[in-house]
A and B are shown apart, each in its own frame.
Chain A
Amino acid sequence: MKDAFGTPQSLLILGGTSEIALATARRLIGRRTRTVHLAGRPSPALDAAAEHLRSLGADAHAVPFDALDTASHEEVLGKLFAEGDLDMVLLAFGVLGDQTRDEQEPLSAVHVAQVNYTGAVSASLVCASALQRQGHGSLVVLSSVAGERARRSNFIYGSSKAGLDAFTQGLGDALHGSGVHVMVVRPGFVRTKMTAGLPEAPLATTPEAVAEAIETGLRRHAETVWVPGALRFVMSALRHVPRALFRKLPV
């Protein structure tokens, strides 16, 4: 069960090697979290992540899960929920893609869309109904500021996150009053291996800062969390910039 401050005792991470997710898990293990399921494609990195969380005192283990294999979601995730209540699900999988290549190769663009949107929609719905049955829990979905307004430089990734973001907001409204809390997290540029080598955007942040914002959001039952918080105002201004000007902006 979550405590008065929204801190979960059990956590399911979808995308178990995500640096943001692992930073969040580390932080929550320092509070109340004891059980962590790390769902992801089987890999040495996933096992290493579970090992690392075990060394922090959590009962953590890797669970084979493939975002693209939507037909298996019900079974794989259903089994986890059957083992015991999950107080929080953190949906953290996603791929950035390579904008230039993806524009040339529609199939790789489809891959980005399928992981980031289709896979996430499927996994979210499966988790949402399980959370609803248990009458409590938080579904935290990692979106991105890139989804707030698609930019020339990464609109394939951005549009997939835009879809996910809109989906998650709607899901949150659908679950309002059901005891299930849905939170959208919109980080800006986060320094991780996913963004390594890319030019850093203004207001760049770290996985640890995102983790902290998630913890605060849980405490406040927030529906939307921006990281850093100032991005909320930056993006609300950028949203209203005319197209002709927006496409020329160096962002």
Chain B
Amino acid sequence: MPAPSALTTPVSGWGRTAPTTAHVLRPRTYEEAAEAVRDCGGRGAIARGLGRAYGDAAQNAGGAVLDMTGLDRIHEIDAINGLVVCDAGVSLHRLMQVLLPLGWFVPVSPGTRYVTVGGAIGTDIHGKNHHLSGSFTRHVRAIELLTADGGTRLVTPEDEPELFWATAGGMGLTGVVLAATIQLLPVETSLMSIDTERATDLDDLMARLTADDHRYRYSVAWIDLLARGARTGRAVLTRGDHAPLDALPPRARRDPLDFRPGRLPGAPNFVPEGLLGRGSVGLFNALWYHKAPRERHGELQKISTFFHPLDGVPDWNRIYGRSGFVQYQFVIGNGQESALRRIVERISRRGIPSFLAVLKRFGEADPGWLSFPMAGWTLALDIPATMPGLATFLDVLDDEVAAADGRVYLAKDSRLRPELLPGMYPRLDAFRRLRAELDPRGVFTSDLARRLAL
């Protein structure tokens, strides 16, 4: 059943909560990838990138997991029109290294650069510019897709809109993305010009985000969910755009596209459980809030500082100890602000020891069938998995989210009840039908797909 090079290896998501074992294969060519799919046996196959999905999306218990990082070639760069053709295993980090000196930037960057292009399409990632630019796959012009029969085809939104938009956010279940053509964003410098301001509570925060998000290309708020009472929902907003050349001091203008993100030593291998409690996290959040300026304009920041603060600490997911952590991210549509307020109050009253959570206002929903964003509010928070009563608490939040016609993000999920899914993702039926047609034997499957019956 497994190919000769296959090893049975424990595989888990970034949250490290529910490891399962699989035959991990690392194809180096498209042909090897096709072979792995053809020979994967009864328990199917799923593609995996850099393992940044928090839950079980890139796990496949007892089956094959295709580690796509071996397919890491950048085939073509059109530096005039800003197009790149690259393999699915190329990371956004690598793209930035290569493209920034040419004056181009990735169209959408999530909170970490260490995701692959394939993963970015499979989960249809969003970034701090969602309100303006939409999700990642909107900027993808073509996908080279390996399908269940072992064949490959070039899928574009014009020729095969159904397959293209089912693959965008399709969690790797329509096939393996082998390569993609991506439209890039022109930039003059590698620095960001950032405005920072504090919001004293949730209402203040929402008012500020509603009032002038449209003036910024990038916008995000870091919210202190441990603050209570009148301070509930206090936050620091950081918003900005790529700095134009004339905003740089003369020295920096000599090498405006320099990209050298710093990296600290990684988190240790063993961290005792329960290090992160209400006290320690609450103190951190309070310090962080008070050290932020009340208002500051045009500060120049590195790309890594603004977009990827946690990438500076390798393996930061280990700080939650052996039992790992859960990330909960949901979106609630505009007009449902009262539900958002109730959820934030619940979290704050409960004293969930969550480091700075992220609140962001999304733009219009994306065309991907299982894409997460919708016009409204999204909140993301990390919680240690050992917290007593957490399972039930999150179930209650799910009910609130579902009642407000919101949804939970599959790339982060590790615990949703399957029965809530069809209500959250209205195009799930169409997705299931397309899968049944395209992949009648169910070759592509994952722990997430089994758990939620995708």
Q: A134-B43, A136-B20, A220-B386 are in contact. Are A178 and B8 (CB under 8 A)?
A: yes
A3→B18 CA distance, assembly (Å): 7
Instruction: Please name the residue on chain B nearest to A177 by beta carbon.
Output: B10
Stretch of A4-12, A39-47, A157-165, A166-174 at the chain-chain interface: A4-12
Q: A31-B391, A135-B62, A178-B21 are in contact. Are A1 and B385 (CB under 8 A)?
A: no
Inter-chain contacts of A5 with B (CB < 8 A): 17, 385, 390-391, 415
Closest Cβ of chain B to A151, distance in Å, is 35
Instruction: Please name the residue on chain B nearest to A85 by beta carbon.
Output: B450
Query: B18–A6 contact, CB under 8 A?
Result: yes
Closest Cβ of chain A to B107, distance in Å, is 31
Instruction: Please name the residue on chain A nearest to B63 by beta carbon.
Output: A135
What is the size, in residues, of chain A's interface with B at 8 Å between Cβ atoms? 21
Question: Is A179 engaged at the interface, CB distance under 8 Å to the other chain?
Answer: yes
Q: A135-B20, A136-B61 are in contact. Are A4 and B414 (CB under 8 A)?
A: yes
Residues of chain A in range 190-235 having any CB-CB distance to chain B below 8 Å: 219-221
Question: Is B254 engaged at the interface, CB distance under 8 Å to the other chain?
Answer: no
Instruction: Please name the residue on chain B nearest to A34 by beta carbon.
Output: B418
Query: A1–B386 contact, CB under 8 A?
Result: no
Question: Is A54 engaged at the interface, CB distance under 8 Å to the other chain?
Answer: no
Question: Is B451 engaged at the interface, CB distance under 8 Å to the other chain?
Answer: yes
Question: Is B15 engaged at the interface, CB distance under 8 Å to the other chain?
Answer: yes
What is the size, in residues, of chain B's interface with A at 8 Å between Cβ atoms? 31
Contact of A4 among B43, B61, B385 (CB under 8 A): B385
Inter-chain contacts of B196 with A (CB < 8 A): none
Query: A3–B414 contact, CB under 8 A?
Result: yes
Closest Cβ of chain A to B317, distance in Å, is 13
Q: Is the interface of A mostly helix, strand, loop or mixed?
A: loop
Query: A135–B451 contact, CB under 8 A?
Result: no
A-B contact count (CB 8 A): 72
Residues of chain B in range 1-42 having any CB-CB distance to chain A below 8 Å: 8, 10, 15, 17-22
Inter-chain contacts of B451 with A (CB < 8 A): 1, 3, 9
Instruction: Please name the residue on chain A nearest to B416 by beta carbon.
Output: A3
A9→B447 CA distance, assembly (Å): 12
Q: A1-B450, A3-B451 are in contact. Are A179 and B17 (CB under 8 A)?
A: no
Query: B386–A4 contact, CB under 8 A?
Result: no
Residues of chain B in range 415-454 having any CB-CB distance to chain A below 8 Å: 415, 417, 447-448, 450-451
Inter-chain contacts of A4 with B (CB < 8 A): 15, 17-18, 55, 324, 326, 385, 414-415
A25→B417 CA distance, assembly (Å): 17
Query: A32–B417 contact, CB under 8 A?
Result: yes
Question: Is A2 engaged at the interface, CB distance under 8 Å to the other chain?
Answer: yes
Inter-chain contacts of A152 with B (CB < 8 A): none
Can you report 25 A-B residue pairs in the complex whose CB atoms are below 8 A from each other? Answer: A1-B56, A1-B447, A3-B18, A3-B414, A3-B451, A4-B55, A4-B324, A4-B326, A4-B385, A4-B414, A5-B17, A5-B391, A85-B450, A135-B21, A135-B43, A135-B63, A136-B21, A136-B62, A177-B21, A178-B8, A178-B21, A179-B20, A179-B21, A179-B62, A219-B391
Residues of A at under 8 Å CB distance from B?
1-7, 9, 31-32, 85, 133-136, 177-179, 219-221
Top 4 nearest A-B pairs by Cβ distance? Answer: A135-B62, A179-B21, A135-B61, A4-B414
